[in-house]
Amino acid sequence: MPRKLLKRIMPDHKEMREHPHLKKFGQRLTEPKLWHLNRRSVAGGVALGVFVGFMPILGQMFVAAALAILVRVNLPLSVMGVWITNPITMAPIYFTAYKVGAWVLEMPVSDQAFTMSWEWFTTEFLAIWQPLILGSLICGVVAALLGIILVRIIWRLMVVRSWIRRKQKNIDDC
């Protein structure tokens, strides 16, 4: 079952509760739903993390953690879900989101080069922020829905595979 695999790779919630830096959050982190490994909690955590990962904001992991606590989905998986945007994937994801937003808003796609400067931010970013945010929302929702579907399909396939193995083992034992 996928639960066994996830339990092996996820941190133990009892250790997390006792961690000196996490004790500040008090009883919020002891909520069992934040650590429970069932189909709904895992799919919700992945979807939430992937959605936040598509948002062009700072502190995505903190935002995902706060939202996971708020909506009570699997906390570690929601934090890991934001890793879909990393230094390698960030530029293609946000450029695609910008193009999707520009297409929906019927705006031309800007060919301006990116330079890390205040001048670029005050001129170019202010011209592209609307399609970028809209495209990020659209792509985030689509990716979250695909994440839910994918997790549920994989979960179901693993459960069926486990049933078949158990049934085969019972037949072999007889």
Per-residue confidence band for 1, with pLDDT thresholds at 50, 70 and 90: very low
Question: Residue 109, Cα to own-chain centre: how many angstroms?
Answer: 27
Query: How does pLDDT run across 31-53, given as a tens digit for each residue?
Result: 767 777 788 888 999 999 999 99
Average pLDDT, the chain: 83
Give me the half-sphere count of Cα atoms (radius 13 Å) on the Cβ side of residue 59.
Answer: 5
Question: Residue 107, Cα to own-chain centre: how many angstroms?
Answer: 29
For the CA atoms of 144, 148, 149, 151, the dihedral, rounded to the nearest 10 degrees, stands at 130
In terms of average pLDDT, the best of 11-25, 32-46, 85-99 is: 85-99
Of 23 and 169, which is predicted with more confidence?
169
Could you identify the residue written with the tokens 């019972």? 170
Q: For residue 138, count CB atoms less than 10 angstroms from its CB and return exposed for 0-12, middle for 13-18, buried for 19 or more.
A: middle
118 pLDDT higher than 70: yes
Give me the half-sphere count of Cα atoms (radius 13 Å) on the Cβ side of residue 57.
Answer: 16
Query: How does pLDDT run across 145-167, given as a tens digit for each residue?
Result: 999 999 999 989 988 998 888 88
